[in-house]
Structure 1
């Protein structure tokens, strides 16, 4: 066949022993001439080689730098996720959508360096095996070549020459297995790190927003009757408040400073993280006390459809440290309408869910003021009288509200029926006892209702202030409770802090308002408008419209009732207005849950103030710049688990690499990494020469070589000895070769 022919120009010397011997002598002579300066091999670091040394040192740096960058990315992301302020570079990476790309690039560099260092470790392990542990002669060429070829460590797993014969062999096997696993695991570094990523919310960089300010509001028209419509939302706000206080005969919510957010869009309000600029503030503190009542009577001009409680209320200022007035004792006459009562009810229900919020006519003789108002009453009498007429409020006094809560409607109805209703006779009533902020009223020996006098400053003033949060804002919606047939207002009451021990701002979704000492008064340029009237209009706008719609009943009724609104769950309409059932539910649920008229009334008026403000916000044309920061969302690291696993893989890799380098330096003397001719020369000596000749003659494969056993080929034959232990040693004449023998 053509393949069996020898080319005429090529001399076949493969089977000529004399020619082989001559060539061997020539090669040996040339190698001696080239390899004379072999003393450098005694230096451990020169045996590692420049390429391997650079791979170890620069590889360490090129792994450490990306890992540090990723660590900083993780750290800044955690700061951002917790509401802190990360570094500017973090924002640049996030805004450029480079978070996942950074992980991809960094892990690619880390994987490459780990793979390159693993090949150096493989070469060193091959050296340790040849010089310290030993392998069968049939595997010696592989380990010798491995020192120069920089192969992957998993190649060592496919050889059967290494056995756990002693501690050294076990240690090397363990190092091989670990490095293979680490190299494999490093290929998934990107996936491991990306597992920490979540769509996180953070506080974005600060910018500037134009916000509407509460001025010139007399041009915006009359707002609707807030009591007759449900709130469109549970608007979020900023708050700084004091603790709720319970006295022997009063409830005091403490100062509750609340700043409304000058943003029409709900997303802007809930995403707002920090604000520094002008905003309206109200102190929604509510103090409810047990009043001294006298001359009480229940009057029914129209049977049980229109009942009034009349009398005189007196408050001794000395009994309440949070109230102040030029006069020690302040008193006022009142006539307050009660909700519609069903006569001959088949059900007796002492918890009737029927109340009245009544505002007795305030005049210049009434001047009780809560301490520390946002706006001091500095108007002169003539101006105050004019403004009182115009705005339905006395600027010298805090707003005073009477809360009447029915305890037993059947008892009230019975007492009314005992009188001549056509003649309009009154049923005399008396104060039976006090119960905290309540005065309990009795009729015909029964406790029929309770009364509390509540004070609040319905004042708004614009300040330059700051507010911030590191959590999400919430604006809960009202839901209908089908079983109770009432609105479920728990989430709204929770947001408003309508509790004796309100939850923290984080869980309520509110912003933290800066302390009042840091506020700067916002100066308004009123232009040609009289600053007294415009200032009053601005400061007392909420007071005017919160109270203006607590309307009077028909004027021809006797006696005429003071302004007020019914908070009844069963009233279906009569001369006095009934608030929308959403307001009734909020008030009644809070009153029943907390037992505090102060908290229930505060929640009701706070929601009403928000309704007025946001109904007019879009009409306000005056704007001012404010520094704002809103929440941003991005796919960023949100935990440390994946990063810790990645660092663990890299850390264990460096430990294994360090141990391998140490073993190479201590247990080897003759191996030089990356030297191909030396690796081959170490094999082509002594016992292996005959094997090489036979392989060359027979074109044998590795599998065939492994199957050879000791045999004799007659006189002068060579014993192959393929089952013998082989190890790299320096011979007596100075040459280094793989020879048979026991490990050191």
Structure 2
């Protein structure tokens, strides 16, 4: 045996020079491998751990989406979700989950690439140019993008259309997965959510009854218009109409004890003290007698006085009428003196010539209100009911002015309206409705809630038609003074929960505190004529171009006019008017409130959370395609390959070596891929496909060249 040469002395000597290499080696034993062995422990771990990671990330994202879209409506918000949202971590969570998804899918796509390489080598073969790379891909962690050259090299032959389609789909899908976070973030939008429904603190809701100053000095809300119409809480029952009455239905309206509009608009739930008024109004068609109209001053049409006697007995079962004389408790009629509604001097005007005349608290009681019947602790003769007449002058200007020049007797006429009584003679006619209202407020412990935010309503003068028109639709809608029925929630209000015993819920009983019931008093208005000659009750004119004494602010006038014209319902008009005036006084004095009690409430905060599923569904579709492609490749690998053990580098190198590739391998040691591409063309290998299969001559699993038949 010759002595081996030293590699240090002969560095370029071929390994074929040794006797050991020259001796023939037996063919390796072919052993059938299980699917687990073929995949390898590392690849199995990548598939299992990667899938678990993806499911974990998707599960957490689903949690964020489900709670954001569904949980915010139900109010059931998990603490973890609130922690993430309140700290503005939603976008960070999405980014982190997206990173986990991208890393896991990228690792799994390396396994996919190795599987596709094995399938190509064993099932359809590869060109001599692609064969070494495909063989090495079975053990190297490369992605599907490394297979693109193989796809390009086989397009013209069409030999692997199915595999090429899988590869292209996977590459495009992998590219889409890189934008996971960008896609998911598109579902986010700023929205308002109640993160804490039980925020508790003391709420000031009323004025102390120990006043040291006259709080009402210089105040006249009839001559002041609101900039906005605040949102409120409401409990309302269905309105009813009879042959001679119109009833708005039981209506309780609570004024939200928050001075800032932003707080009222975003208030979703409230449990605590609140000022509540009974806003129910009933207007009836009374029996009239002893009717006259007289001219006090022939220079001013506003000074025509209508006098008469009205009787509302048995008109409506929910109203009792009694004499102010405590010794006579028989049901009686009452007399009235009211200024006639002033005529509108504008020709062809649609405005009604209407006015409101107060009878005061000396006639009638509206029963079954929020304050118990017979409760006189507020010092009012009939408890808490205010009676008022609303009149409408239906005569043309010329007939009215020329006819009513002296004391004239009038008679009640036939009327088809449920709430309007008609009276007059053959020359002049008027409509009259007797309305009852319980405006005395009380303070109660209440519960109110809303599922949505809603801003304070506002009205504006619309000049687009040339003639300015007061557009008050949103105000009237909020006040339920439009045709058609709608719930409190549909009108943007908080829903006031009903209470079986309102008296037991008064703040005096619940919190042992009492606020001064002042807002009713602010509705009163000084009338010089009452103090001087008492010719007529306090009158509010709803027409333009009248003397200032009886005029009211144009916004009040326009609101009442629009409601009367659109609904013909005096009860709705007065209900809206009284609510507005009471609200104005309530919030005007808000900074002076000192009476407080604990309350819990939830105010919506603006947060950036998912509001839709579209982009989330898109990402789930991309991930679904990823797993479909991965499963298809796994099934094909397990069922259609025998010679490839993924992750084994020695096998990948060894299977390249064969008699068919010996020439190419020999020259490749010091050549570039481009040089080798030219060399294999000369050797003839490039004319066919190279497969990994068991050689019939050597018994090895090796690269075997197969030339297509011509």
With normalisation by structure 2, the TM-score equals 0.90
Question: SS state of the match for residue 429, structure 1?
Answer: strand
The answer to whether 1:464 aligns with 2:445 is: yes
**1:576-725 alignment runs, 5 A limit:** 577-696=550-669, 699-708=670-679, 720-725=684-689
The answer to whether 1:553 aligns with 2:529 is: yes
**1:272-291 alignment runs, 5 A limit:** 272-291=267-286
Instruction: Give the C-alpha shift of residue 650 in structure 1.
Output: 0.8
- List runs of 5+ in structure 2 lacking aligned partners: 1-5, 323-328
**1:204-223 alignment runs, 5 A limit:** 204-205=195-196, 206-214=198-206, 216-217=208-209, 219=211, 221-223=214-216
**1:211-610 alignment runs, 5 A limit:** 211-214=203-206, 216-217=208-209, 219=211, 221-223=214-216, 224-303=219-298, 304-317=301-314, 319-324=315-320, 329-341=331-343, 348-349=347-348, 351-363=350-362, 366-379=363-376, 387-388=379-380, 394-396=381-383, 398-410=385-397, 411-417=399-405, 419=406, 426-434=407-415, 435-443=417-425, 445-482=426-463, 483-485=466-468, 487-517=470-500, 521-524=505-508, 538=516, 541-546=518-523, 548-549=524-525, 551=527, 553=529, 555-557=531-533, 560-574=535-549, 577-610=550-583
From the superposition, tell whether residues 88 and 695 of structure 1 become closer, same or farther in structure 2 (CA, over 3 Å).
closer
Instruction: Give the C-alpha shift of residue 686 in structure 1.
Output: 1.9
Over aligned residues, Cα RMSD in angstroms?
2.9
Matching residue within 714, 736, 744 for 2:701: 736
The answer to whether 1:11 aligns with 2:13 is: no
Instruction: Give the C-alpha shift of residue 254 in structure 1.
Output: 0.3
Moved more, 611-620 or 512-521: 512-521
Contact 1:351/1:407 (<8 A) preserved: no
Question: SS state of the match for residue 470, structure 1?
Answer: coil
Instruction: Give the C-alpha shift of residue 283 in structure 1.
Output: 1.6
Contact 2:321/2:333 (<8 A) preserved: no
Count residues in correspondence: 684
Please give the per-residue CA displacement for 1:250-279, whole angstroms capped at 9, x wherever unaligned: 211101111111111221111211101111
The answer to whether 1:122 aligns with 2:106 is: no
Contact 1:467/1:514 (<8 A) preserved: yes
Please give the per-residue CA displacement for 1:54-98, whole angstroms capped at 9, x wherever unaligned: 000110000110111001101111135546332221110011221
| Counterparts of 2:394 and 2:20, CA distance in 1 | 122
The answer to whether 1:60 aligns with 2:51 is: yes
Instruction: Give the C-alpha shift of residue 312 in structure 1.
Output: 0.3
Contact 2:312/2:321 (<8 A) preserved: no
Please give the per-residue CA displacement for 1:324-374, whole angstroms capped at 9, x wherever unaligned: 4577854110000124447xx6x65474533211112543xx343333442
Tell me the equivalent position of 2:90: 99
Matching residue within 720, 724, 727 for 2:691: 727
Question: SS state of the match for residue 458, structure 1?
Answer: strand
Contact 1:312/1:334 (<8 A) preserved: yes
Instruction: Give the C-alpha shift of residue 136 in structure 1.
Output: 2.2
Please give the per-residue CA displacement for 1:573-617, whole angstroms capped at 9, x wherever unaligned: 24xx22111111111111111111000011000001111211222
Instruction: Give the C-alpha shift of residue 634 in structure 1.
Output: 1.2
Instruction: Give the C-alpha shift of residue 307 in structure 1.
Output: 1.1
Tell me the equivalent position of 2:3: none
| Counterparts of 2:685 and 2:349, CA distance in 1 | 109
Contact 1:164/1:170 (<8 A) preserved: no
Contact 1:309/1:336 (<8 A) preserved: yes
Contact 1:135/1:161 (<8 A) preserved: no
Tell me the equivalent position of 1:716: none
| Counterparts of 1:161 and 1:678, CA distance in 2 | 25
Instruction: Give the C-alpha shift of residue 635 in structure 1.
Output: 1.3
| Counterparts of 1:407 and 1:218, CA distance in 2 | 48
From the superposition, tell whether residues 191 and 701 of structure 1 become closer, same or farther in structure 2 (CA, over 3 Å).
same
- List runs of 5+ in structure 1 lacking aligned partners: 1-6, 389-393, 420-425, 712-718
Matching residue within 132, 143, 152 for 1:141: 132
Moved more, 147-156 or 56-65: 147-156
Please give the per-residue CA displacement for 1:619-669, whole angstroms capped at 9, x wherever unaligned: 121111100110101111111111111111111101110111111100111
With normalisation by structure 1, the TM-score equals 0.86
| Counterparts of 1:310 and 1:299, CA distance in 2 | 8
Moved more, 506-515 or 677-686: 506-515
Instruction: Give the C-alpha shift of residue 396 in structure 1.
Output: 3.2
| Counterparts of 2:16 and 2:92, CA distance in 1 | 66
| Counterparts of 2:357 and 2:102, CA distance in 1 | 76
| Counterparts of 2:83 and 2:644, CA distance in 1 | 50
Instruction: Give the C-alpha shift of residue 398 in structure 1.
Output: 2.1
Instruction: Give the C-alpha shift of residue 553 in structure 1.
Output: 1.9
From the superposition, tell whether residues 18 and 61 of structure 1 become closer, same or farther in structure 2 (CA, over 3 Å).
closer
Contact 2:269/2:449 (<8 A) preserved: yes
| Counterparts of 1:505 and 1:162, CA distance in 2 | 70
| Counterparts of 2:573 and 2:210, CA distance in 1 | 30
Larger fraction in helix:
1
Question: SS state of the match for residue 432, structure 2?
Answer: strand
Contact 1:333/1:360 (<8 A) preserved: no
| Counterparts of 2:492 and 2:229, CA distance in 1 | 11
From the superposition, tell whether residues 308 and 484 of structure 1 become closer, same or farther in structure 2 (CA, over 3 Å).
farther
